[in-house]
Amino acid sequence: MDTLYFDHCASTPIHGRVAETVLEVMKIHFANAAALHRAGAEAMKLVDRARAGIAAGFRVKPDEVVFTSGGTESNNLALKGTIGSLARSAKHVIVSSVEHASVYRCAKQLEEQGVEVTWLPVDRYGSVRVEDVTAALRADTALVSVMHVNNETGTVQPIREIGEALARYPQVRFHVDGVQAIGKVPVRFREWGIDMYSASAHKFQGPKGVGFLLVREGLALAPLLAGGSQEAGVRGGTHNVPGIVGMAQAFRLATESMPERRERMFRLRRRLLELASTIPELVLNGYGAEEEEKTSPHVVNLSYPGMRPEVLVHMLEKHGVLVSTQSACSSKSLQPSRVLSSMGLGEDRASGSIRISFGDEHDERDIDTLGERLRMTVDKLKPLERSRG
């Protein structure tokens, strides 16, 4: 039986051309990019070229790209770096209640250190309301952080509308966690009034352990770690040259054909929703096919109310299908999904969800196979559900 991997939100398979590039750079350009000798300078040229390529994709200046180790570091740098760089009078942040753990727990840490946090509610689809953002603003608000695409449900937040609303409050920084958005949905950093935007390479077929934070020109950030002067002193540490070069290539590949890839993935999503709708035990969490403009094309979240998600995941794995529960960073938690609970869904539904996420290697036949195996799994679990009742 072939194994089908449907966990792209956790990590995508690295693109073949990117893997070749990373290996080549590792072999040839192993010198420290900060070194003064020729080999170091050649490595730095590759870093600069990668930075320019990513900057061009967002229509920003190369100096506005800060390389990091991935999404978690980028998000922590945005939140903690902002608070650390501002006067004590600006100690209030606004964070949505459905953020990834790297923002949610970071905000919790700040809260423990005396920073006041307003947690934005969401509607039953997981969407933030712009009026809730503006209602939460205070004179001492330093930062608003709202993710672009939710990592559990695929819901796309109204980033443009929030940015337009915050334009009237220039003292408030707007951070967006875009880890699940790159290559899936359009991003307009400058036009939407975004101040900081986080990304992670392995979410768009790049290597693991590398990411970036776009930082609007002129914003100061306190570094998370004491170290060297790399990345203009904001992020010390030796450059991950192979990772950075591979990320830039993966970014270009993911974004240059995005319209065609989006339409293709939406077709797969529609087919999966159609198949799932024929299994009465499964319930969709998030937007359906009728409101595609509000969701990312690569994620479907389904609940089998009352069924433990790990039972579903392991039974699907026996049938050759790999999916996940919640986010990868929270997959071992036995608690109901924080995201689904915030959407007002009951404990049975929030405790029994699986996340299916797909990408370029999948086609309609894979989705049909997934549908068949979902049905087989549910049929085998029905007796267990009855015995529990």
Catalytic residues: 329
315 Cβ neighbours under 8 A, 6+ residues apart: 377, 380, 381
- The answer to whether 359 and 298 are in contact (CB under 8 A) is yes
The helix (H) or strand (E) run that includes residue 212 is strand 211-215
- The answer to whether 118 and 88 are in contact (CB under 8 A) is no
Residue with tokens 């209640």: 97
Helix, strand or coil for residue 68? strand
Helix, strand or coil for residue 198? strand
Task: Work out the burial of residue 221: count CB atoms within 10 Å of its CB; fewer than 13 is exposed, 13-18 middle, 19 or more buried.
Answer: buried
For residues 314 and 44, what is the distance between their CA atoms, to the nearest angstrom? 45
How many other CB atoms are there within 10 angstroms of residue 135's CB atom?
A: 11
Determine phi and psi for 18, rounding to 5 degrees.
Answer: -70, -45
Q: Hey, what amino acid is at 386?
A: R
Q: Tokens at residue 163, please?
A: 């940015």
- The answer to whether 42 and 29 are in contact (CB under 8 A) is yes
For residues 210 and 6, what is the distance between their CA atoms, to the nearest angstrom? 22
How many other CB atoms are there within 10 angstroms of residue 179's CB atom?
A: 28
Q: Tokens at residue 187, please?
A: 């991003």
How many other CB atoms are there within 10 angstroms of residue 381's CB atom?
A: 17
- The answer to whether 3 and 322 are in contact (CB under 8 A) is yes
Cα torsion 272, 277, 282, 286: sign:
positive
Determine phi and psi for 13, rounding to 5 degrees.
Answer: -65, 140
CA-based nearest residue to 362, from 314, 328, 321, 330: 321
